[in-house]
Amino acid sequence: MSQQQGSTASVSVIGLGPMGQAMVRAFLSAGTEVTVWNRTSAKVDAMVALGAKPANSVAEALGSNELIVVSLTHYDAMYQVLGQATDQLAGKVIANLSSDSPEKARVGGTWVRSHGAQFLSGGFMSAGDNIEHPASYIFYSGPREVFDAQADLLRPLSPQEYLGTDDGLAQVFYQALLVTFHPWILSYHQALALIERSGHDIDQFLPYAVRSAGAYPFFMEEYAKTAKEDGSGDLAALQMMDAGAQHIIEASEEVGADSTLSHAAQSLWRKAITETEATSNAVAMFDLMGGRKN
């Protein structure tokens, strides 16, 4: 069980960027006592003003509670921070909710355990730092019994999705979702630039953007189906997408909106067409992306 002081649940949060601060607020709202540490102390002061307890050192943050929630830019920062007090790690539970590659999370888990602590990896699927948004949730992976023992204490952060025992698994799912989210952010800004530079009103465009996004789940299910089917691609569809990419590029460039992303998309459609023409087997985009190699 997680450390309790009397009947009050308590945790330490290490790392007070936008996410760490949002976590501290969520814990405090749930009545959880929170001890905080951050490299830059001004961020500690802001959390203390809300009711958190300051730790003057990493060792003090580790010593204050059994469950330590880590929210840093990447796993390298975890070594730099927890490395300051490895003698305090034994008996602790490190829940690292920072983003990084699955392999970095696995190596991180091994490092934490080598110092006598337990480890959970988390991927925070939040709407930015608005972790109270109904769409926010957290992927967890690591030993099931460690997750079960800490689930109640971690619950104020966001709904939980435990994926499995592989320390890297939370990051596999988290990064796979970010694969789609990152280009979407960029392409959406390109679309807004296209609208504005065409002399039109972003507010007029917004409802249509939201409405069209309603079709994305349909495409997600369709492409998941074809990815599993081991089917071949469709040359006519690839050529249509290549032509479509050209129209997007021209629409953007006519008004001076950046088209870098659309050129990258077109180069992938063209790669599929070239490979199709070379082998006379229509290449499926899923295969071009590296699917079905195992």
143: its two tokens: 């030993």
Applying CB under 6 A, among 16, 82, 89, 285 the residue interacting with ligand NAP is 16
Stretch that binds ligand NAP, among 108-116, 123-131, 193-201, 219-227 (CB under 6 A): 123-131
Contact present, 158 and 136 (Cβ < 8 Å)? yes
Secondary structure string (H, E, C) spanning 229-277: CCCCCCHHHHHHHHHHHHHHHHHHHHCCCCCHHHHHHHHHHHHHHHHHH
Stretch that binds ligand NAP, among 36-44, 231-239, 245-253, 277-285 (CB under 6 A): 36-44
The SS3 of residue 89 is: coil
Applying CB under 6 A, among 9, 11, 13, 19 the residue interacting with ligand NAP is 19
Judged by CB under 6 A, the chain residues 258 through 287 that form the site for ligand NAP are none
The SS3 of residue 94 is: strand
Applying CB under 6 A, among 39, 53, 263, 271 the residue interacting with ligand NAP is 39
Convert residues 80-109 into a mask of x (bound to ligand NAP by CB under 6 A) and - (unbound): xx----------------xx----------
By DSSP bridging, strand 8-14 and strand 4-5 are: antiparallel
Closest CB to ligand NAP among residues 78, 285: 78
Stretch that binds ligand NAP, among 5-13, 24-32, 121-129, 285-293 (CB under 6 A): 121-129
Closest CB to ligand NAP among residues 38, 259: 38
Q: Which of 177, 291, 271, 175 minimizes the C-alpha distance to 231? A: 291
